[in-house]
């Protein structure tokens, strides 16, 4: 375990992990205003990834602000007092770098990946975007149409839409249950002044984490970030972080949501509320998820696709949030096969909840989880994401070896316990397809 930033004096630097001869060393500096800077040194690479993580996402929105976090993500690319939208993109294109961003339920991230020698450019551009956005009325209006098109694109892709519908069915009409994109009505109602006020309220030092990984020097990154933020007006002072609004509404009875849509395939998600991100049982649930629906050897894939050929895509998945989570099973099949596929998925979930996994499935699930984690950390971008997200949403950063040890320590009893708890909770079923008002309750 590493110490929390809350216990660190502002203006100081600590080494969270010493690494091996400098490789993999993780260090954190907390600036006087509360801005946290965390880096991981990987001298063997020639790239550097830089990101700024804001502790605000769609879960922090009132109904009147629905979609504001994602809307703001778009607008921050449109220009600052130093750069136009073209100059922002051209600065990274000129060095062959990647510049992007994404919005989630509980955070937003702006990031760039460049050659190590070009890190100062990435720091300057991304910091400028995040801290000194103008949010001009004309830019807000231009992006409004882009976001409305993104919503329409999501609505035209039932494989994407089904997951938003499932969250709404599971959690209800609370912030965590609403779509990250917002709705057509909420996006049309958002004014420039409201978006700018949202920006000024949430993009403050205490809610920002700067992360860099690759062939980077921590002290150099701190100097670059300090210089970049010192000259920028967007995050003057430090305001207290606002509490999250509206907790999750976990169903007390099964909820069914059917979206009648003229599609070639039926799209199904069956699931329950899961575990929060700090629940120690998340490692056992991860192993269970891998064995149940995480790969070609999983129970769901074998029963639904390999043995019966009923679906091309079938899998299970988990998501963790601050105080809750979700567990879901997805399948896409011909509408006429929906009942059979749904019955098999329910049976397999119930069987795992009742009898757990076999020893062979346990070991295979653990191996899949270990390999997926380590192989997913092979580049500077994934390393930056790991340390940045961990610093923002966890109390401490677990070393990779400690995470692997926790996976290895999962037993059949652990899986049995978490399966009986999570998989028997009241849940939700969401179906998209040409079903009219058909009743899927049973």
- Domain range annotation of the chain: 5-230, 255-433
**Which residues, at least 6 apart from 40, have a Cβ–Cβ distance to it below 8 Å?**
24, 25, 26, 212, 213, 214, 216, 383, 384, 387
The two structure tokens encoding residue 250: 């976990």
In this structure, are residues 176 and 166 in contact, taking their beta carbons and an 8 Å threshold? no
Crossing angle of helices 137-155 and 68-75, rounded to 10°: 120
Per-residue pLDDT, 231? 64
Per-residue pLDDT, 238? 45
Taking the C-alpha atoms of residue 232 and residue 200, their distance in angstroms, rounded to an integer, is: 13
Torsion, Cα of 396, 401, 403, 405 (10° steps): -130
Per-residue pLDDT, 440? 85
Per-residue pLDDT, 236? 45
Mean per-residue pLDDT over the chain, rounded: 92
Residue ranges in the chain modelled with pLDDT below 50: 1, 236-241
- pTM tops 0.75, yes or no: yes
Fold of 255-433: Cytochrome Bc1 Complex; Chain A, domain 1 (3.30.830)
| pLDDT tens for each residue of 389-413 | 999 998 788 999 999 999 999 999 9
Q: Which residue has the tokens 């921590």?
A: 218
Taking the C-alpha atoms of residue 241 and residue 322, their distance in angstroms, rounded to an integer, is: 15
Give which of 314, 343, 347 is closest to 328, Cα–Cα.
314
Catalytic annotation, residues: 73
Domains 5-230 and 255-433 share a fold: yes
Give which of 235, 430, 234, 407 is closest to 330, Cα–Cα.
430
The two structure tokens encoding residue 401: 């070896």
Cα end-to-end distance, the chain, whole Å: 46
Query: 47-54 and 108-115: which strand pairing?
Result: antiparallel
Residue 301: strand pairing partners: none
Torsion, Cα of 401, 406, 408, 412 (10° steps): -170
**Which residues, at least 6 apart from 117, have a Cβ–Cβ distance to it below 8 Å?**
none
- Dihedrals φ, ψ of 106, to 5°? -125, 5
Q: Which CATH superfamily is domain 5-230 in?
A: Metalloenzyme, LuxS/M16 peptidase-like (3.30.830.10)
């Amino acid at each position: 375990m590493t110490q929390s930033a809350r216990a660190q004096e502002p203006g100081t630097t600590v080494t969270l992990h010493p690494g091996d001869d400098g490789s993999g060393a993780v260090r954190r500096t907390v600036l006087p205003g509360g801005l946290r800077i965390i880096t991981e040194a990987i001298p063997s690479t020639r790239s550097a990834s830089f990101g700024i993580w804001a502790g605000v996402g769609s879960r922090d929105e009132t109904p009147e602000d629905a979609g504001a976090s994602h809307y703001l993500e778009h607008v921050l690319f449109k220009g600052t007092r130093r750069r136009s939208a073209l100059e922002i993109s051209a600065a990274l294109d000129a060095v062959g770098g990647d510049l992007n961003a994404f919005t989630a339920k509980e955070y937003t991230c702006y990031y760039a990946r460049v050659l190590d020698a070009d890190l100062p450019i990435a720091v300057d551009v991304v910091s400028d975007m995040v801290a000194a956005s103008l949010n001009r009325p004309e830019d807000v209006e231009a992006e409004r149409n882009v976001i409305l098109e993104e919503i329409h694109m999501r609505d035209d892709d039932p494989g994407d839409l089904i997951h938003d519908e499932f969250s709404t069915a599971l959690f209800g009409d609370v912030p965590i249950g609403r779509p990250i994109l917002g709705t057509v009505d909420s996006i049309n109602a958002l004014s420039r002044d409201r978006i700018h006020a949202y920006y000024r309220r949430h993009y403050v030092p205490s809610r920002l984490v700067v992360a860099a990984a690759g062939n980077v020097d921590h002290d150099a990154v701190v100097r670059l970030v300090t210089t970049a933020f010192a000259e920028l007006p967007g995050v003057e002072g430090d305001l207290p972080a606002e509490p999250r609004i509206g907790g999750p509404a976990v169903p007390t009875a099964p909820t069914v949501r059917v979206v009648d849509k003229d599609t070639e395939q039926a799209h199904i998600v069956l699931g329950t509320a899961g575990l929060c991100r700090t629940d120690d049982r998340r490692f056992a649930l991860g192993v269970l998820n891998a064995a149940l629906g995480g790969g070609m050897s999983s129970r769901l894939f074998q029963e639904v696709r390999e043995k019966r050929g009923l679906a091309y895509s079938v899998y299970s998945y988990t998501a963790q949030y601050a105080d809750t989570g979700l567990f879901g099973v997805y399948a896409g099949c011909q509408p006429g096969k929906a009942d059979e596929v749904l019955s098999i998925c329910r049976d397999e979930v119930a069987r795992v909840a009742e009898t757990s996994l076999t020893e062979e499935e346990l070991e295979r699930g653990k191996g899949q989880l270990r390999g997926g984690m380590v192989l997913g950390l092979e580049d500077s971008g994934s390393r930056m994401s790991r340390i940045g997200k961990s610093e923002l949403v966890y109390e401490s950063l677990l070393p990779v070896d400690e995470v692997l040890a926790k996976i290895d320590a999962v037993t059949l009893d652990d899986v049995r316990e978490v399966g009986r708890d999570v998989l028997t909770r009241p849940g939700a079923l969401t179906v998209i397809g040409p079903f009219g008002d058909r009743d899927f309750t049973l």
